[in-house]
């Protein structure tokens, strides 16, 4: 993806939007101050008038003036609350644009949402490729506000999608990338609705739980008929057709129905109330999504998934639920017990909600899944907008295959680009080079970009072509004192997991191995490393291996081999080691371990150096 001259830069966009939000916030602060002063005046007026009346200095008719001041105070409080809400939204817009500016520099490393809860030591690549944790892909990309959206983004980064799904996500993200207004509005609405990543899971569970009032199904018609009967008895008693006391028979029957149904109604009331705020507060999000003129099929599919063909939009169903729930909230009113006794109010209200659940309950989960998908797509689109120099990968049907030109690490500010070519099955790069020269960084750059590509995101490269494949790594192997696992044993377990996964993927895999089998002696390491590489290539997988064992370079000479030797190098300038991080063909012919020790102040001698 390349920036066009007409398109404002991300820095300019975020700077202007932050300034606009700050200006709105300043204006709202002034409005809030005026409302605060007017509320104070109304309060003082009410108290003053009441005081003068009580002191006998004003006639009692002035109580109407005091009441008017109280009413004005109440109206001002309602309006002031609306200003507070607008201020909260303006602050969120300021924050979002400050985060946008931070992503253009190293400021994003300070973001607190790093996704550590998604880290798993046994995962086939996420611990090695900085997918989660400090300085990770997730920390850079995540701009979700709901827990479901966060989990959807994490799932995309944790496992490859099919070629068709990757291309669908790319198309949707391309359309969303320039729509900064929509993406930020969606995020602000989500943050308002989901403070502290509150989830609607309680409500979803209620919606999918099925009927709760079957045990008192009989009460539904009774609640309609019995109050009418009681009212009839009352009227007949007033007209002398029946004794006036007859009405108490109806009232007694209604009281009995209220007592018999109390526990069942109370149980449903508690379950729906527990999840209600995780539901109705999302109504503005669905209204915003429904109003968007999407063009890409995936976005339209998500939009249409919010309603069945011929049905009303989800926002209408939200509004209906809110109205029905407001009837339940009447129980907080002091007159609720009396009203419920006279009308069996709760039975009517909860059975109405039961009908709503029967009609829409099975769809609720799909509504929120569509919202989570849009949040994840917005994160991908955000990366594309923030990194206009990134490119959209091209998916290939045949693989495994990964080919890139000017490939860089997506998490580095100024990566040194290199070309990488793994054009087919059983192709591998054997990377040699001195310490700190860039071997491992190249492999992480390759792996991280493949993870981004198969999540549907743009990558740090000029061109990038790949097929659907499983990424397999062995880079940050750790021993475990608690489990009694040595470093070498941990390496072996990791390599076994990589081999098993490559076989299960039937060769549609990319392996990245960094200095494997360091926990054993040199001779056995050389033999075992060659065999591990042969076994991986035999599955049909492609990949790269870094090593200091130059003897492994002979694999490139074996008949039918597709192993290519490449290397990084360093040189001395004014007594200091200098690296250019450029990948070159062939095997490295220099090493720097002793120089590194000496430069660090460790006085080591080279026994093979010529004496003077």
Rounded distance between C-alpha atoms, residue 442 and residue 338, angstroms: 75
Whether residues 503 and 542 fall in one domain: yes
In a domain, 74, yes or no: yes
Assigned domain for 45 exists: yes
Range of the domain at 311: 210-374
Which of 280-284, 405-409, 437-441, 527-531 comes out lowest in average pLDDT? 280-284
Within this chain, do residues 439 and 331 fall inside the same structural domain, yes or no?
A: no
Query: Domain check: are 369 and 398 in the same one?
Result: no
Q: Are residues 312 and 281 in the same domain?
A: yes
Residue 491 has pLDDT above 90, yes or no: no
Task: Tell me the HSE value of 195 on the side-chain side, using a 13 A CA sphere.
Answer: 5
Among 86, 105, 124, residue at a domain's last position: 105
Does residue 578 lie within any of the structural domains? yes
Q: In this structure, are 450 and 594 located in the same domain?
A: yes
Residue 10 lies in a domain: yes
**Are 404 and 362 within one domain?**
no
424 shares its domain with 564: yes
CATH of the domain at 567: 3.40.50.300
What are the CA-CA distances from residue 486 to residues 119, 514, 524, 581 (Å)? 22, 18, 17, 33
Q: For residue 394, report the phi and psi dihedrals to the nearest 5 degrees.
A: -105, 125
Last residue of a domain, one of 87, 105, 123: 105
Beta strands in 449-561 (DSSP E): 463-466, 470-474, 509-514, 542-546
Give the 3-state DSSP-derived string for 410-458, with helices as H, strands as E and coil as C: CCCCCCCCEEEEECCCCEEEEEEECCCCCHHHHHHHHHHHHHHHHHCCC
Check whether residue 572 and residue 438 sit in a common domain: yes
Query: What length is written for the chain?
Result: 612
Q: Is 401 found in the same domain as 365?
A: no
CB 327 within 8 A of CB 354: no
Chain segment 186-229, per-residue pLDDT in tens = 999 888 877 655 567 778 888 888 888 999 999 999 999 999 99
Query: Is 610 a domain residue?
Result: no
Kindly report, residue by residue over 164-187, the tens digit of the pLDDT.
Answer: 999 999 999 999 999 999 999 999
Lowest mean pLDDT among 478-482, 566-570, 600-604: 478-482
326 and 410 assigned to the same domain? no
Residue 497 belongs to a domain:
yes
Residue 44 lies inside a defined structural domain of this protein: yes
- Residues 350, 470: one domain? no
pLDDT digits (tens, 9 = 90+) for 441-475: 999 999 999 999 999 999 999 999 999 999 999 98
Q: Answer yes or no: are the C-beta atoms of 197 and 147 closer than 8 Å.
A: yes
Is residue 244 included in any domain, yes or no? Answer: yes
pLDDT value at 571 more than 80: no
Same domain, 288 and 413: no
pLDDT digits (tens, 9 = 90+) for 33-46: 999 999 999 999 99
Q: How many domains does the chain have?
A: 3
């Amino acid at each position: 993806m390349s920036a066009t001259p007409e398109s404002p830069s991300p820095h300019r966009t975020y700077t202007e939007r932050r300034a606009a939000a700050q200006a709105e916030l300043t204006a709202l602060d002034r409005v809030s101050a005026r409302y605060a002063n007017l509320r104070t005046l109304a309060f003082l007026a009410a108290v003053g008038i009441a005081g003068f009346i009580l002191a006998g200095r004003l006639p009692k008719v002035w109580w109407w003036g005091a009441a008017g001041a109280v009413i004005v105070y109440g109206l001002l409080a309602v309006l002031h609350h609306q200003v507070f809400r607008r201020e909260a939204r303006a602050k969120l817009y300021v924050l979002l644009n400050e985060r946008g500016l931070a992503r253009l520099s190293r400021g994003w490393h300070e973001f607190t949402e790093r996704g550590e809860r998604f880290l798993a030591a046994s995962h086939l690549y996420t611990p090695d490729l900085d997918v989660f944790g400090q300085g990770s892909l997730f920390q850079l990309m995540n701009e979700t506000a709901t827990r479901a959206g966060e989990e959807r983004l994490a799932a995309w980064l944790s496992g490859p999608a099919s070629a068709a799904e990757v291309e669908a996500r790319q198309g949707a993200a391309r359309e969303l990338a320039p729509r900064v207004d929509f993406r930020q509005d969606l995020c602000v609405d989500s943050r308002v609705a989901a403070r502290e990543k509150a989830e609607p899971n309680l409500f979803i569970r209620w919606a999918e739980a099925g009927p709760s009032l079957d045990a008192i199904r009989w009460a539904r018609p009774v609640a309609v008929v019995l109050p009418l009967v009681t009212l009839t008895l009352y009227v007949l008693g007033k007209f002398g057709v029946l004794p006036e006391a007859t009405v108490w028979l109806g009232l007694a029957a209604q009281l009995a129905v209220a007592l018999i149904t109390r526990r069942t109604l109370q149980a449903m009331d508690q379950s729906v109330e527990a999840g209600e705020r995780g539901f109705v507060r999302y109504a503005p999000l669905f209204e915003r999504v429904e109003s968007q003129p999407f063009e890409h099929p995936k976005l339209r599919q998500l939009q249409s998934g919010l309603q069945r063909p011929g049905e009303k939009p989800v926002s209408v169903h939200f509004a209906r639920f809110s109205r029905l729930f407001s009837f339940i909230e009447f129980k907080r009113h002091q007159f609720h017990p009396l009203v419920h006794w006279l009308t069996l109010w709760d039975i009517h209200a909860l059975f109405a909600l039961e009908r709503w659940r029967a009609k829409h309950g099975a769809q609720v989960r799909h509504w929120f899944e569509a919202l989570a998908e849009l949040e994840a797509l917005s994160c991908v689109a955000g990366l594309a907008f923030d990194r206009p120099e990134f490119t959209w990968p091209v998916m290939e049907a045949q693989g495994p295959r990964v080919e890139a030109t000017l490939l860089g690490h997506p998490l580095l500010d100024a990566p040194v680009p290199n070309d990488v070519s793994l054009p087919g099955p059983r192709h591998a790069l054997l990377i040699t080079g001195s310490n700190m020269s860039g071997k491992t960084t190249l492999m992480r750059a390759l792996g991280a970009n493949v993870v981004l590509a198969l999540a549907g995101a743009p990558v740090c490269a000029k061109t990038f072509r790949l097929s659907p494949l499983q990424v397999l790594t062995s880079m940050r192997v750790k021993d475990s004192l608690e489990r009694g696992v040595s470093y070498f044993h941990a390496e072996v377990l990791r390599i076994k997991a990589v081999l098993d996964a490559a076989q299960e993927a039937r060769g549609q895999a990319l392996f990245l191995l960094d200095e494997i089998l360091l926990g054993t002696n040199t001779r056995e390491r050389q033999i075992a490393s060659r065999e591990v590489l042969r076994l991986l290539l035999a599955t049909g997988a492609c990949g790269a291996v870094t090593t200091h064992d130059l003897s492994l370079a002979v694999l490139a000479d074996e008949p039918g081999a597709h192993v290519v030797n490449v290397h990084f190098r360093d040189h001395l300038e004014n007594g200091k080691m200098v690296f250019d991080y450029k990948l070159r063909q062939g095997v490295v012919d220099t090493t720097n371990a002793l120089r590194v020790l000496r430069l660090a102040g460790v006085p080591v001698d080279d026994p093979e150096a010529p004496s003077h």
